[in-house]
Structure 1
Amino acid sequence: MIGNKQIITIKGTRDGLTLYIDDACSFKEVLEELERVLATKYTDKDEPMITVTIQLGNRYLHNEQEEQLRGIIRKKNKLVVQSIESNVISKKQALEWREDTEIKAITKIVRSGQVIEVKGDMLLIGDVNPGGKIIASGNIFILGSLRGVAHAGFYGNRDAVIVASYMEPSQLRIADMISRSPDYDSEGVYMECGLIDEEKSKIVIDRLQVLSQKRPDLTGFERRILNG
């Protein structure tokens, strides 16, 4: 311990224990303090299994360092590491996050038999004709008519939405859910969005105005698209 500063703080929660680790000290000091703190704790063999969450703050650990932390905690038979969380990510993770969240703008008409797929959000400036299909891992925004198939949240994101200037899809898909008639008006509707209603357990079509309440985490750029 450096001076009076506590390197490791342990707090109990309903889900187990949370270890808050000071992010200003060296990793060697963290290991030594963790060994000392756990030396006299959780020694009762009759205690139930306790899950541990480690909060690193602004500290990044390599896989080997994470395994060292897990190893010290595993010595206590009643403790198991549930997660190690940090405010810092690697450059590779940052680039992957950027790719997953940025909006890809495409200007074209998606004709019958064509499939357009992107990672992240898709902004399509054009129409999706019957027989055409567009796929995105994030949200889909169409400045045009949707008469074909649109699949948002392709990798399982159930919070994804599908927005179109004119909505008359042959099929809507979000994550693992598929729209079924009569979830949308067969004659088409203007400036509407499709999203999963968890209470109804299906995809519903609603007014664009509801997105600010139902999907408050939409980015500022996406809001500008929706609000003009």
Structure 2
Amino acid sequence: MNAQKQQNVTIKGTKDGLTLHLDDSCSFEQLLHDLEGMLSSKQYIGEDSPVIEVSVKVGNRFINKEQEQQLKIIIEKNRHLVIAAIESDVITKEEALRLKRETEIVSEAKIIRSGQVLKVQGDLLLIGDVNPGGIVIASGNIFILGALKGIAHAGFEGNRDAVIAASVMKPSQLRISDALNRAPDHVPDEGNEMECAYIDEEGQMVIERLQQLSHLRPNLSRFEGGI
């Protein structure tokens, strides 16, 4: 199906159904009017027609629940169309704050002693040691500029791409998301190179030299020059 355009609405057929591109510069009322006009075509109405899934893209326009319902009524009313998704390039303030927390780097300069727990949202950069019996937990990655001899739990909210790195890797326990590795069978390198733990493609926890991390997790490039 070729793309069709009527004022502020563009309809394009795809292998999965229809995609509606709604202009984000006009008023919402005008958008509803044009959408109703576009969908009045008989090709979208018919008792024997199969149900077609519709993806709605609204661009840089925030759509609240009431407006979502208005779109749903116009698109689905008396038509063999059903909304599969409504996608906006705009996020709410709450979503923005959540993303900020998840990607934030929390820096701490201290020693985590036995019985102490340090838990943060986002990535943790600890300048100091984690002694036996000490625990560090982060929803993101954990980077320790010191010796890790206690417990480290990265990605505690389910992020299996999280990593744990330490100048001296001698943990009593490592956890990444729901993967657990008790007292890893690992002898740290004799040199002073940092090491990192991550979950590989087979779901196994692996410890490598930190230099391998840029290839394993290229999305960590924002830390270049930091550690």
Using structure 1 for the length normalisation, give the TM-score. Answer: 0.85
1:50 aligned partner: 52
The within-5 A match list for 1:82-93 is 82-93=84-95
2:166 aligned partner: 164
Q: What letter matches 2:28 in structure 1? A: F
1:19 aligned partner: 20
Report Cα offsets for 1:44-71 as digits up to 9, x if no partner. 4455443332222111122221222223
In structure 1, the residue corresponding to 2:45 is in which secondary structure?
A: coil
Q: Offset of 1:28 from its aligned partner?
A: 0.9
5+ residue gaps, structure 2, are none
Assess, with a 3 A threshold, how the Cα gap between structure 1 residues 47 and 144 changes in structure 2: closer, same or farther: farther
2:188 aligned partner: 188
Report Cα offsets for 1:141-197 as digits up to 9, x if no partner. 111111111111111112211111111212221112223675x51x33441111111
Q: Considering only aligned residues, what root-mean-square deviation do their CA atoms show, in Å?
A: 2.3
Distance 1:23 1:56 in 2: 6
Distance 2:77 2:91 in 1: 28
Assess, with a 3 A threshold, how the Cα gap between structure 1 residues 27 and 169 changes in structure 2: closer, same or farther: same
Using structure 2 for the length normalisation, give the TM-score. Answer: 0.85
Assess, with a 3 A threshold, how the Cα gap between structure 1 residues 62 and 215 changes in structure 2: closer, same or farther: same
Percent of residue pairs bearing the same amino acid type: 55
Q: What letter matches 2:95 in structure 1? A: Q
Report Cα offsets for 1:54-91 as digits up to 9, x if no partner. 22211112222122222323326643323222222222
5+ residue gaps, structure 1, are none
Assess, with a 3 A threshold, how the Cα gap between structure 1 residues 75 and 106 changes in structure 2: closer, same or farther: same
Matched, 1:95 2:97: yes
Give the conservation status (yes or no) of the 8 Å contact 2:127–2:145.
yes
The within-5 A match list for 1:118-137 is 118-137=120-139
